[in-house]
Structure 1
Amino acid sequence: MTFAIRLLTALVLIELAVAAMFLASRTWRAVPVIPNQQLADPLIMPDLQQLAQAAALGTEGAWTQLGSGLVGKGFYAHAELAFREAVRQDRPTLPAQFGLAFSLDRMGRLSESDQEYARVATLPQTAPGDELTQYIALYAQGKNALRSEDQTSAIAFFRQNTNFTAAVYQHAKILVRSDRAEEALPLINEVLSILPYSLEFHFLRYRALKTLGRETEAFQAAAMVERSAHLVSLNYSTQYVTPLDRTTGAARLLGQLTEIAGNNDLARFDQQLREIKRLTDDQPIFALKVVDQQLLQAAIRKSDAQQARETIAKLRQRGMENEWILEAEGDIWQREGEADKAAKAWQRALLLTPNVSLHRKLAAYYGDDHPQDRDYHLGHAALLDGIAAYRKNQLAAALQPLRLATELLADQPTPWYYIGEMHFHLGQNRQAIGAYQKCIALAPNHSRALAKLDYLKATEKSK
């Protein structure tokens, strides 16, 4: 009897201990840890401290917000701890689970990160961006397999992820590199039917066709590369981190500045610019380059030459010299009636980055007194206008400024080359041949024009 009572008492004590441990595990809260570092941006650490305080108080979602803020600034080891606590304390969410996997990924702990990425797929979607997060998690597993040189597993992950364009690209690229270009082409063509101007897929199509020895089609694919643009984001880490970077520090204030700019409230915009500079103690922070540029433009808008010169002087003390500083300096000289000094500043800016605005300012400076110099700048402005229309896929609209450029820049082959490009892509082969011939007459070794001309002559002969 005594033994039974002792046994029962022992069982009760054990149950009480287990219950106490369980209760403690539910009520105990970890202490948030943030880096102890001095950064160029003086606003980052206070923002992170504020997020840490919210996490310590047990605010719902605060651990995830702290982890996100830490990831945004590259503190992955600290972010791991925050996301682990978020997963432990709160009901696991996609942002917390993905953040944990990503932090491990960035620290090179691929096996652990893959396990956490796999858990992302098991969680329910509760927000609009959750489906994309799951696609990215699966894509990350495929990329990790490539980093581990496990091509078979990588293909398996990418094949499961057909709704994510970047995964289709990686799958097709592996096939092309593995001498399976014929299998890759249907994947590539399907994406191009949806994104007809994707540079990534046109270049991949070119490589596939070249591998298969289909030279004519490969030439056509190469021609489309120049017309195309980067439309597919292949770097999921940048895609994930960039918005998180804007949650703390000066980047957070810049996000607010963008919202104000959208309302066209110039007075409030200028006020916010100055507030950002005050809060950051005028530190040379790379992210604030846009603030310096906007402060300079604001001073010029208000015809405040003294403020504009002070801003330029500060920038040059930091070792900065670029086209927008020089163009702004020229604008100040122009407002003060110093046309010659303005032109010199604009010409220096033009050497760094040719743009339509600078060419037009210089054309106005030379005017009727120097028609040759004026026409040189008007011609280059027209050429850049035509190329810009071409980049926007406005082929017919590009022809007018390009033709004007041929009149004003009679000795330049470039306008004729781009006129040939417009006609080539519009399917007007005879006009394209004529334009390429005029380009070659001015530049006999123009390789791209020669290649297009040979291709078109062969095409016309085969008809």
Structure 2
Amino acid sequence: MTRLQKLLVAAIALELAGLCFWWRRYSRPGALPPVDWSACMIEDTVASEIRGMESRLQFNDPSGWAELGATYRAFGLFPQAEYCYRQVDKLSPKDRSYLYYWAECADLMGRTRAATKRYRQVIDAKLSVPLGLQTIQYCWLNIGQDRLREENVPAAMDALRQAPDIPKAKFLLARVLIRSGRAKEAIALLDDLLRDSPGVIEYNQMKSWAEDELGDQDAAQEFYERSLRSRQELSKSDPTYQEVLERRKSMGSQSWHEKSLQLETQGKLQDALEWSRKAVQAFWAEDRAQELARLELLTGHPKEAIALAEECVNRVGASAKTLDIIGVASVQLGDRARAQRVWEQAIELEPTPNLYGKLAELRRLADDALGAARYRSLEQYQTGKDAWLNNDLTAAREHLEKAVALYDGHPHTWFYLGETRRFLGDIPGAKAAYRRCLQINPDHGRALRAWERLNQESRK
């Protein structure tokens, strides 16, 4: 081939490359994947806003595609979101955060290999978007979870080890190690997690299992008991989920509901009521109806509040919050008997100090001193139990001792008082509390086990 021919071939190749680049960047994409709105659990106002975004889209604008993709993703339309991110990729934008979101969409559709490919792009490019310095470690966490879904444990462990600063990655690795017969390695990871977050239920449960695997029954029992007085749960969602929630709040009737909440904090109750009513009329949801009922109460409309609460019961069943609203409205209407009935029903669903306090006040107004004292005792018991579940043992003991001083016939109060005293090192006090619990209810299983354990320890 002559020199001239070589130059001509090179020129043609460059021209073809430029043509391909131009076509890739400026060619109009095909139609968006259709959405069957009738089959979606998406309200009409949101669907209308999304259709508006589609109609305004500029096909060569990467930010427009990214915004539409984020909206699709927020409402679970993952094939449509993936299509948008593919168009963003063709336009080669400077902001490459779309790669992580694209990978998430593939994950959420069960396409783990496609997801891993995108996460690898983020890792190879050393990107710090969208999650800052931890972006790459979150990619490794997600790759590890994908390998676990595929039951490829060795590859999962390798990936999870690449995310040492992500608590969830450490936790998953510890769980895999325990199941692989390597509990000693798992304990080192769990100790790190518990050092930073001692109140997480799952960490304490896992540490108990690991100690049990190693044959240390005392340590296993200790961490099992810690898990019982813990409330904090390990977050299961990706950090980007907060973006999803914020986007949902900004669209459709949910934005009206959020506006109502904001107006209420500003003391503009009538305006808040109007926006709340508008949100409920557009799309009924239990939390919205409860909020509207509460605003009706605050603006002096108890009958309207009861009607809204009863609709909640008819649609989705009773909840403590809904029944509480009916109780408050009933008191405002002078029907204390109904208030007592619904508050007692609410306690069966979700006992709270607030509900016990309201029942105590009703009994006081009825000149029932014994009934009032019993409910005040249960109010203190529930407050103490809440403190116990938050591992605040000093506060728990204070409230539980107040509870038994008001009424000493509730076995659970004595049991939790016994547990609290035992954890605080007051063994004689713990024995006295367990003994009283068993006098009231000889078949209280946890009290029987605790009593037996203390007796065994005293014989050692």
TM-score by length of 1: 0.87
Structure 1 residues 124, 159: CA separation in 2 closer, same or farther (over 3 Å shift)? Answer: closer
Task: Find the counterpart in structure 1 of residue 22 from structure 2.
Answer: 23
Q: Distance in 1 between matches of 2:78 and 2:348?
A: 42
Question: Relative to structure 1, is the Cα distance of residues 243 and 153 closer, same or farther in structure 2, using a 3 angstrom cutoff?
Answer: farther
1:77 maps to what in 2?
79
1:37 and 2:40 matched: no
Partner of 2:451: 453
Q: Deviations over 1:287-317 (max 9, x none)?
A: x322211110111112213432442454455
Aligned position for 1:272: 275
Aligned counterpart, 1:291: 288
Distance 1:139 1:262, change over 3 A: farther
Could you tell me how far 1:162 is from its partner in structure 2? 0.8
Amino acid at match of 2:376: L
Distance 2:49 2:375 in 1: 49
CA distance in structure 1 between the partners assigned to 2:240 and 2:404 by the alignment: 42
**1:184 maps onto 2:186 in alignment:** yes
Partner of 2:170: 168
What are the superposed Cα offsets for residues 226-263 of structure 1, whole Å, 9 maximum, x if unpaired? 12223422344994654554454444444555555555
For structure 2, which runs of at least 5 residues remain unmatched after alignment?
none
Task: Please give the alpha-carbon distance, in whole angstroms, between the structure 2 residues aligned to 1:123 and 1:247.
Answer: 32
Structure 2: distance between partners of 1:173 and 1:7: 62
Asked if the contact 2:340/2:362 (under 8 Å) is kept, the reply is yes
Work out the CA distance in 2 between the residues paired with 1:128 and 1:80: 17
The 5-angstrom pairing of residues 139-154 of structure 1 reads: 139-154=141-156
Corresponding residue to 1:365 among 362, 366, 373: 362
Deviations 1:177-206 (A, max 9, x none): 111111111111111111111111110000
After superposition, the Cα gap between the structure-2 partners of 1:57 and 1:460, relative to the gap in structure 1 and judged at 3 Å, is same
Identity of paired residues, percent?
21
- Counting only pairs closer than 5 Å after superposition, residues 58-207 of structure 1 correspond to structure 2 as 58-91=60-93, 93-125=95-127, 129-207=131-209
Distance in 2 (alpha carbons) for counterparts of 1:389 and 1:404: 14
- 3-state SS in 2 of match to 1:113: helix
**What SS class does the counterpart of residue 124 from structure 2 fall into?**
coil
One-letter amino acid of the counterpart of residue 327, structure 2 = G
Structure 1 residues 258 and 56 mapped into 2: Cα distance closer, same or farther (>3 Å)?
farther
Residue 435 of structure 1 corresponds to 433
Pairwise CA distance, 1:80: 0.9
Q: Who is 1:418 aligned against?
A: 416
Instruction: Measure the CA separation in 1 of the matches of 2:393 and 2:323.
Output: 33
1:264 to partner: Cα distance: 5.1
In the alignment, what sits opposite 1:326? 323
Aligned twin of 1:354? 351
Stretch moving more, 256-265 or 191-200: 256-265
Q: 1:244 to 1:298 in 2, by over 3 A?
A: closer
Question: How many pairs align?
Answer: 454
Q: Distance in 1 between matches of 2:3 and 2:348?
A: 96
Work out the CA distance in 1 between the residues paired with 2:132 and 2:28: 27
TM-score (norm 2): 0.88
* Equivalent residues of 2:230, 2:390 under 8 A apart: no
Match of 2:97, SS? helix
Q: CA, structure 1 residues 63+260, in 2 after alignment: closer, same or farther (shift >3 Å)?
A: farther
Residues 301-316 of structure 1 correspond to what in structure 2 (within 5 A)?
301-312=298-309, 314-315=311-312
CA distance in 2, matches of 1:232, 1:176: 18
